Amino acid sequence: MTLSGKTIAVLGGPLYEDLELWYPYYRLQEAGAVVKIVGMQNGPDLVESKHGYPAKIDINAGDANPDYFDGVIVPGGYSPDHLRRCAHVVGLVRALNDQGKLVAAICHGGWVPISADVLRGKRATAFVAIKDDMVNAGVEWSDEEVVVDGNLVTSRTPADLPAFMREIIKKLS
């Protein structure tokens, strides 16, 4: 299966979870998609992971046109707590959701779609530490390796990445 012609935003912020950014980044490229790391408006051009691995920001969220992207992936780690404070990041996620495009989040990544108010009434999962946040945002919580509800794909931890990416690729195909 090929994702040729698809362009995906992967959000990158300080202290991202290494595997949750790089596994989707390379897996989507392998499938033929163009992948752009999107950072915070007025944020750094280079962000480091929890383990110090750098990621170069390709485009700032304020310059990212939602019409250009077929979806967004929100990795976990501590970056979602930074990313959700950026109105342009939240706006991008909301716009992609409003267009019915893929919104995918793993681990603590669920914080960004919470801030974009796109989870209300949806079935989803995340790392157990943010279960209360998800439920309080109107999510029907499910503790599964991957949960798909319409254009939304969510997973819990790096161990869920194979299932997470399998469903993302299905959605984009």
Which tokens go with 169? 């690729």
pLDDT at 59: 98
Which residue among the candidates 82, 86, 88, 108 is catalytic per the annotation? 108
Please report which helix (H) or strand (E) contains residue 37, including its range.
Answer: strand 34-39
Q: What is the pTM of this model?
A: 0.97
Strand partners, 48: 54
Does the annotation mark 82 as catalytic?
no
Q: What value, to the nearest 5°, has the Cα angle with vertex 27 and ends 146 and 74?
A: 55
| Residue ranges in the chain whose pLDDT is less than 50 | none
Please report which helix (H) or strand (E) contains residue 106, including its range.
Answer: strand 102-106
Number of other residues whose CB lies within 10 A of the CB of residue 138 = 13
Distance CA 124, CA 134 (A): 8
- Strand 152-155 relative to strand 146-149, pairing: antiparallel
pLDDT at 1: 60
pLDDT at 45: 96
The residues, any chain, with a CB within 8 Å of residue 94's CB and separated by 6 or more, are: 116, 117, 118
SS3 22: helix
pLDDT at 120: 97
Distance CA 102, CA 140 (A): 19
CB burial class (10 A; 0-12, 13-18, 19+) of residue 1? exposed
Does the annotation mark 86 as catalytic?
no
The residues, any chain, with a CB within 8 Å of residue 26's CB and separated by 6 or more, are: none
Residue whose structure tokens are 């819990």: 156
Which residue among the candidates 82, 86, 88, 107 is catalytic per the annotation? 107
Which tokens go with 98? 């409003």
Domains and CATH numbers, the chain: 7-172 (3.40.50.880)
